[in-house]
Amino acid sequence: MRGSARIRVADLLTDPLLDGAVTLAGHGGLERPVTDVSRYTATGREPGAAGQGTAGPAAGGEADAAGEPEPPGVEGHLLVCDDTQVTPPHRLDALVRGAQEAGAAALLVAAGRTRPLLSGMRLADRLGIPLLWLERAEPATLLFELGVRIRAHELTRARTVLALVRQLTAKKTGRDILAAAERILAVPLSLVTSDGTPILGEPVTVPPGLRLDLPVPQSAAHLLVHPVHDQEGNRAAAWLAITLERADADRTETLGVALAVAEPFVRSWLTGQRARAGRDAVFQTGLLAEIMAARDTVSRDVVENALSLGWRLQDWHAGIHLTMENSRAREDRDSVLGQHRDGLARHGVHTVAVVDRGDGWALWTSGELEPRPEEARQLLRALRVVITGLPRSWGLVAGIGRARLGPGGLAETLTEARDAASLARSHAFRPAVEHADELGVARLLATWQRSEVTRAFAETALAPLRDREHAHLLDTLRTFLESGGSAVATAQTLGVHRNTVGARVRQIRERLGVDLDDPSQRLALQMACRALDAHS
């Protein structure tokens, strides 16, 4: 027991005990300290007892009201009265005055359906004594509980812990755990990451003074946080956070203890979540492997299993292959992939799944309609933006496949994505993203054309046509090859007669000594032409 003056009227108003209490008047006194709580007993004399009437009408007129000053001993107390004491309502005036004269901290009326008169509220305002109105309450219970709250807050704390343990034991999900704790503590409770992003509940603004890199309970103005340890126990997997309007020291302490009690329940749920996620990953990997193998001949079981995961195999798919070169980041797989997916979602790209393929992760989007060409570009742009926004040290590399239809299409696009990722990995910069579209023939050829081997071959093979007087033959050869060996198309392109083309092709054959009917010869010469163009 202690009569600490640390609790103020406004503190009690935030307590679950006074849930629903309205401050009708006397707001000026809300910071008054409360030392105790007692029942308002109008112990005064019988109305008009001795002393009245003898002093003549003037003095006798100063009749004391029913709520004479309290006997000494209620100074600083929160006085509680029930509805019978304010019925009829005019009695409130005398109660307010009596409470103020006795030095009470505030007057709490457990009023039932009684409504106060204006005069009572005005008087409380005038005297500056808070008038609290609580419609639904049992005064006796209220009196007892408030007494415990004010005088023996260790008991309040013990009860809170007991209630938490009883309630939380039966709760299965994180959301249920938080809701039950919120109900008991009567404060909003959130589970957040170290930057305040909510996992459950409302977001929390982390004030600069808090060190969320240190896994210890901390508090700041209006905020109380407690780390949820990960399985190794040396770092915080998440934080439990309570946002407070105000609280006295006792209540802050109780809430701190409550968070410590709730933490193992939340941790257990978080760990369970991760274990389940791991089991799911194995299943998904196996299923995807079956799809990749069977392509369009997937079995009914595979389709059903895929559907149970929300994979619509018959849709159009665009695959993404994501790899991480940094091994430390791999440990944070969930966080990295989560941020990656969330980032894509913010750009309107909703991935169906993330499946571990050993060398990286397969992600894909699905849709009923064939994506338009610009959607592929949008996907590429989104992926670049997202991946650039993530830490460079993770060494992220991604490839994107082209949109394909059906289960076989899913296998193809994922294969393309993996190939694109392989190409991206050959770049010197990180993060790197490549799209399968950009790995097309033109690009392949360009690579070859730039190579020294091709160039040397071109110089040699086409040397007979490279002097100025045979330039028209080189033009004809290039056009003829680009036109797929069609004399008519070549003639149209060059604006000559097709017999001219025929004559020139004969001359070319003679000068180069090659067989233009041989596809290999044609391919080699076409490459040589392009290589010359590229270098000229």
Question: Residues in the site for another protein, rule: CB under 8 A?
Answer: 47-48, 50, 52-54, 56-58, 60-67, 88-91, 93-94, 96-98, 100, 117-119, 122-123, 126-127
Question: Taking the CA of residue 43 as centre, how many other CA atoms within 13 Å lie in the half-sphere pointing to its CB?
Answer: 11
Residue 85 vs residues 43, 46, 105, 137: alpha-carbon distances, Å: 12, 16, 18, 14
User: Is 279 strand, coil or helix?
Assistant: helix
**Alpha-carbon dihedral angle through residues 26, 28, 33, 34, given to the nearest 10 degrees:** 10
User: Is 466 strand, coil or helix?
Assistant: coil
CB of 219 to another protein, least distance (A): 42
- Reading the block at residue 302, the tokens are 């595979």
CB of 82 to another protein, least distance (A): 14
Indicate the residue among 127 and 177 with the shorter CB distance to another protein. 127
Element (H, E) at 242: strand 236-243
Contact 71, 104 (CB under 8 A): no
Of the candidates 432, 321, 317, 422, the one whose C-alpha atom is nearest the C-alpha of residue 375 is 317
- Reading the block at residue 5, the tokens are 């003056």
User: 200 has which bridge partners?
Assistant: 191
Contact 121, 131 (CB under 8 A): yes
The H-assigned helical ranges of 363-405 are 373-389
Of the candidates 199, 271, 274, the one whose C-alpha atom is nearest the C-alpha of residue 241 is 199
CB of 127 to another protein, least distance (A): 8
CB atoms within 10 A of CB 310: 9
Residue 75: DSSP 8-state: T
CB of 49 to another protein, least distance (A): 8
Residue 331 and residue 341: Cα distance in Å, rounded?
A: 17
CB of 209 to another protein, least distance (A): 45
Indicate the residue among 96 and 505 with the shorter CB distance to another protein. 96
Of the candidates 206, 200, 242, the one whose C-alpha atom is nearest the C-alpha of residue 225 is 242
Residue 95 and residue 117: Cα distance in Å, rounded?
A: 13
CB of 37 to another protein, least distance (A): 22
Indicate the residue among 64 and 332 with the shorter CB distance to another protein. 64
**Alpha-carbon dihedral angle through residues 496, 502, 504, 509, given to the nearest 10 degrees:** 160
CB of 98 to another protein, least distance (A): 7
Indicate the residue among 94 and 379 with the shorter CB distance to another protein. 94
- Reading the block at residue 269, the tokens are 């749920």
* Burial (0-12, 13-18, 19+ Cβ within 10 Å), 136: exposed
The H-assigned helical ranges of 371-486 are 373-389, 406-425, 441-450, 452-461, 471-482
Contact 83, 94 (CB under 8 A): no
Contact 384, 396 (CB under 8 A): no
Element (H, E) at 126: helix 118-127
CB of 108 to another protein, least distance (A): 17
CB of 87 to another protein, least distance (A): 9
Length of the chain: 536
Residue 289 and residue 296: Cα distance in Å, rounded?
A: 13
CB of 15 to another protein, least distance (A): 28
CB of 41 to another protein, least distance (A): 14
User: Is 429 strand, coil or helix?
Assistant: coil
CB of 69 to another protein, least distance (A): 11
Residue 125 and residue 422: Cα distance in Å, rounded?
A: 77
CB of 184 to another protein, least distance (A): 40
- Reading the block at residue 192, the tokens are 């957040």
Greatest C-alpha distance within the chain: 150
CB of 45 to another protein, least distance (A): 9
